[in-house]
Amino acid sequence: MEMRAVEVAGQSIWQGIARSGIGIGRVILLLLSATGWSLAGGQEPPLTWPTGLSEKEIATLQRATSPRAHVEAVLKISTQRMSGALSLARENRYQEAREQLSLFVSLIGYADRYTRALPPARRKDRDQNLKRLEQAIFRQNNPLDALLAELPYELREESQPSVDAVRRIRLRAINDLLGGGRAITPPEE
């Protein structure tokens, strides 16, 4: 395959690039990123919402196209799932309550991944969504503790790592908002 330079005002595009000091490597990287290619062998897979959502909840998520509206919709659904889990646990329907808790945790994780996947140009949206996420988790602390207290010991022990994951997401959001990821040192695992 022969590569020919296009002549513009007596000089080729490649000569213009060389004179500008940009460098051919940067031009190639820019072209690759503009076409959606990645040197790592592909792009990140698109985010998908957790399985187990109702058709109505999926439709709500599909309608919310802006980052703010999307995260708010996810957090609203997660709050409903937490309320449902607590009600089920109080009715001694522990397995169903645990399933609702699992979906709550999945929704919080999805909101976190969605927010962190926003491009750097959307930093304001990212920070606002991290704040919303942190506040939503904070509001769910008491219901989470109440749910764990309602569950039998075996299910409580199985559910504790999920609850801890949600609390780590909250700490990570606070950390990113306050100190760019360097304000809070996470506890040792």
Give 29-87 as a DSSP string.
HHHHHHTT--TTSSPPPPP-PPTT--HHHHHHHHH--SHHHHHHHHHHHHHHHHHHHHH
Which of 124, 96, 116 has its CA nearest to residue 169?
116
- What is the pLDDT, as a whole number, of residue 47? 73
Joined tokens for residue 75 = 């957090």
Helix (H) / strand (E) element for 11: namely strand 11-12
Residue 189: pLDDT band (50, 70, 90) is very low
Instruction: Indicate if the pLDDT at residue 98 is higher than 70.
Output: yes
C-alpha triplet 176, 72, 151: angle, nearest 5°: 85
Q: Position of tokens 């595009």?
A: 13
pLDDT tens track for 65-75:
899 999 999 99
**186 vs 189: CA distance, rounded Å:** 9
Q: Show me where the domains of the chain are located.
A: 1-43, 55-179
Rounded to 5°, angle at Cα 80 from 92 and 107: 105
pTM more than 0.75: no
- What are the CA-CA distances from residue 172 to residues 28, 113, 152, 184 (Å)? 35, 12, 30, 8
Q: Helix, strand, or coil here: 185?
A: coil
Whole-number percent of the chain with pLDDT over 70: 70
Q: Is the pLDDT score of 78 beyond 80?
A: yes
Residue 31 has pLDDT above 80, yes or no: no
185 CB-contact burial (10 Å; exposed 0-12 / middle 13-18 / buried 19+) = exposed
